[in-house]
Amino acid sequence: MRFKRSLARRIVIAFFGMTVVVAGVFALGIVGTVYMLEGSLIADDLGSELDGLLRMETMEEWRLKPTPDQLFYYSDGHGELAMPEDLAGFSPGFHEVFRGRLSYHMVVREVDGRRYYLLQDQSDFEDRENQLFLVVLSGFVLSSLLAGLLGWLLARRVLEPLGRLAGQVRNREQLLNVTPSLALDYAKDEVGELAAAFDYAMEQLHNALGRERMFTSDVSHELRTPLMVISTSCELLEEQPGLPPQTLQQVHRIARASAEMKELAETFLLLARAEHGRPDVCAQKSLRAVADDQVQVWREQIEGKGLSFVYLADCQPDGIFDEVFLRTIMVNLLRNALHYTMSGTITLELDATGFSVSDTGKGIPSELRAEVFQPFVRHTDVEQGSGVGLSLVRRICLLQGWKIDLTAVQPQGCRFAITLQPA
């Protein structure tokens, strides 16, 4: 699995990693150089001194020649020149020997089967070497920490314009109103190019939404006249004497569909105007009044399908609400419940915060509940509805500041709850 890190963290990691690599190579170079010089220069010096001792002719001269910080032994020596047991395993060449707290540099020579050992006390040198290594290690750690701090500060500095740009885009009302260009606030660099790209994308979205709202407004307005003609014609036909019952039933269906289309066109027209910032002054009603009207309209259809219809109106929220929007939401929720409920009960319940519509239909799986509010999405295979009703409900709720919740009903079914804010 690939972990996703923020851009700021990646900058800090890159800066820190680069410093660790550079400082590590530098520290290792110092340590390697010290060891190389130690093994080369000191070995040459001690080797020269040992060669000088080997040119001595008597043991007495050997005893006098080594300096106080040097020790001299050979393999078959006696007394103070006898080879200690701890040195027996060393081969000819240069070595470091540690005896307790003391450290020595040692050179071993083998001449005619005899081995000679010259040791020089290097405790002070070893202490200075350890101090040097400690300084190098401290410098490495300090430079790494400083790199992390500088990387963090640099990331904040570099990403500050991006954060500001993100905030401007996120809090912008450019989809509804034309606002000043974002690119004017930034230099002509990569962030400025990104701001210009946002300006272009927002302009295209604004134009597309403007065309969509204009189309919705125009269509809704132009539909009024033909719908009025259909409605009037249905009224005249209903008054005609002697119409067969089957024909009269079809006229009633046409009249009812015409009324629903008229309400839908009126709703879209009001939405388009409200989203353009020019809301119409609409009739205001209480929730109970709107609900009572819809109960009279929908009870016959629901019970005609063989379902039970329960209307609970023990309480209601205070205040009045936009009648068209409230009626549209209630109609769409009741129609949705009627379409997707094959048996059982549909319930319309008023409470102190709003109202709810619940049913005993197939229900909606939890993973699909967020999608049902998208346009043209139907949550079952029932061939009814266009998939527009719930998206229209959500659009009205967003505009009015209302809240819609979808929950499951046990043992099956779903419940749509609307929380209202008074006008």
Find the mean pLDDT for residues 374-394. Answer: 62
Least confident of 73-77, 102-106, 132-136, 270-274: 270-274
Q: Return d(Cα 404, Cα 392) in angstroms, integer.
A: 12
Q: Print the domain residue range for 84.
A: 7-148
Three-class SS state of 357: strand
Whether 266 is in a domain gets the answer yes
Provide the percentage of residues in the chain whose pLDDT is more than 70.
78
Q: Has residue 280 got a pLDDT over 70?
A: no
Domain total of the chain: 3
What's the confidence (pLDDT) of residue 188? 76
Q: Looking at the domain assignment, is residue 351 inside a domain?
A: yes
Residue at 344 is within a domain: yes
Which of these ranges, 65-74, 112-121, 189-198, 235-244, has the smallest mean pLDDT? 65-74
Residue 399 has pLDDT above 50, yes or no: yes
Do residues 23 and 140 touch, judged by C-beta distance below 8 A? Answer: yes
What CATH number has the domain bearing residue 362? 3.30.565.10
For residue 413, being part of any structural domain is answered with: yes
16 & 100 share domain: yes
Calpha distance 48→403 (Å, rounded): 95
Query: What is the predicted pLDDT for the residue at 1?
Result: 41
- The residue among 35 and 406 whose pLDDT is bigger is 406
- 232, 253, 274 - which closes a domain: 274
pLDDT value at position 351? 92
CA–CA separation, 338 and 347 (whole Å): 11
Among 244, 274, 304, give the residue marking a domain's end: 274
Tell me the pLDDT of the chain averaged across its residues. 77
The model's pTM is 0.49
**Which range (198-202, 227-231, 264-268, 372-376) has the least confidence?**
372-376
Indicate if 22 and 86 belong to the same structural domain: yes
Residue 236 has a pLDDT of 80
Do 266 and 343 lie in one domain? The reply is: no
Q: Check residues 347 and 265 and name the one with the higher pLDDT.
A: 347
pLDDT at 119: 84
Rounded to 5 degrees, what are φ and ψ at 164? -65, -40
Residues 325 and 197 in one domain: no
With 90 as the cut, is the pLDDT of residue 416 above it? yes
The span from the CA of 287 to the CA of 402, in Å, is 13
Q: Reply yes or no on whether the pLDDT at 283 is more than 80.
A: no
* Ramachandran category for residue 82: left, alpha or beta (phi over 0 → left; psi -120 to 50 → alpha): beta
Q: Which of 313, 312, 195, 304 is closest to 252 using CA atoms?
A: 304
Residue 305 has pLDDT above 80, yes or no: yes
Question: What are the residues whose beta carbons fall under 8 Å from the beta carbon of 210, sequence distance 6 or more?
Answer: none
In a domain, 135, yes or no: yes
Whether 355 shows a pLDDT value over 90: the answer reads yes
Examine the domain organization and report whether 21 and 144 are in the same domain.
Answer: yes
Say if 261 falls within a structural domain.
yes
Same-domain status, 77 and 105: yes
Residues 266 and 292 in one domain: no
- CA dist 407 and 414 (Å) reads 6
- Residue 23's domain is classified under what CATH number? 3.30.450
The DSSP letter of residue 75 is T
Residue at 368 is within a domain:
yes
Q: What is the CATH number of the domain that holds 196?
A: 1.10.287.130
